[in-house]
Structure 1
Amino acid sequence: MRPISGGPRRTVLRTLRADGPALAVRRTGTPSSPVAQVHLVGTAAGPMGGDLVEVRVRVGPGAHLDLQGVAASVVLPGRDQARSRLRLDVEVAAGGLLTCTLPPVVVTGAAEHQATTVVRLGGDGRLRLAEHVRLGRHDEPGGWWRGHVDVTRDGSPVLRQSTTLGDDPGMRDLRTVLDTAATDHASATHDTVVMPLAAGGTLTVTLGATTAAEQRAR
């Protein structure tokens, strides 16, 4: 993706492709908008144990992309107890911006899921990444979720973090927001922590036994 030269500034999608049965990719929003909008659409149940889903995103110099999901992914166990895997591979060039709101991931009982996010930022490229993981459906024990995030800027580390959920009933719902342009100060409540990063930006983590919506319903 890159912005067109001359005239009103807007982002042009150069390549938009999906292979395999798991996901489709659709351009949404207004073509004349300066920000390109794309939705990921699940086209099959799962992922199931043994599945590998790879998402690659390339944002060119000065381009702005808003990437979103349509509905939650429900992770199901496979016959051989193998884990399912999702790999998100991102590059954002100088002047580029990616806003990525991934669809919620619900890990059902006996399922195991591995999520790996690798981001390479160039120059002043920016990223805002929001993720939501939930262990178990309503009144169901959850499975296991393991996540790893590796973000670099021009080869230097911005964030390297690994998280595992699965054996603590008090930690079933995880929300994270990584914003490489934010300048929030460090803060903490009973379930949310805001952490400024040494290389710039902030990481906000909310972790608890239930979602905010469930708490309000009680």
Structure 2
Amino acid sequence: MIELVGFDGDDTLWHSEGYYQAANGEFERILARYVDLTDTHLHDRLLATERRNLRLFGYGAKGMTLSMLEAAIEITESRISAADLHRIISIGKDVLSHPVELLPGIRAAVEAVATRHRVVLITKGDLFHQEQKVDSCGLSDLFHRIEIVSEKDERAYQRVFTECAVRAEQFVMVGNSLRSDIAPVVKMGGWGIYMPYHVTWAHEADTDFAAESSRVVQVAAPDGIVGALSMLDARAA
């Protein structure tokens, strides 16, 4: 039976991607002064820069900002002004300082799960930013353990299993990303509750893992998590 339930942070417990999408929109408005956006494939070029830099900068607003600066200089062939580079830095600071807003109903869902199982928070991204979100979210008292990781891969999940003394088949991960939250856990023999967010970063959407698996239940909102967990608990038993 299920013993440990993991919850993702960004766009599972609290809103996040919308702030990044707004930042991308502002970035495009700045670059539109220098290039024809329809010809430069700006979105694709920025995404390629971000992916290229992940191993150096990691995930989060700081890595996004550095990648925006690099892409802006390359795309404009160094014609972008210092003032506009400074505006891009301000965009990153705005993302880092956005308020933490919980998804409706998520606290009740976590509380309900915590009455039956140990719960852990497993979130990835910039350490300082994620710590600030955890401190501000008002949910940290519910979790048995809080893990902030640089990447959600099998190595990271195995460390959680070892430290919490559970096997993969005793673990369920709740999250909005098939790539990071669900696929690695299922591959290891665990279970997943997939709760899609209304918008997803293209990098996280880049996966061939299908949610139509007997080890995964998809829910539309937090109020479906408890029922989905009961279904998976029965399957695991």
Is the TM value for this pair above 0.5? no
Larger Rg, first or second structure (1 or 2): 2
Higher relative contact order (CA 8 A, sep 6+): 2
TM-score by length of 2: 0.23
Higher helix residue share: 2
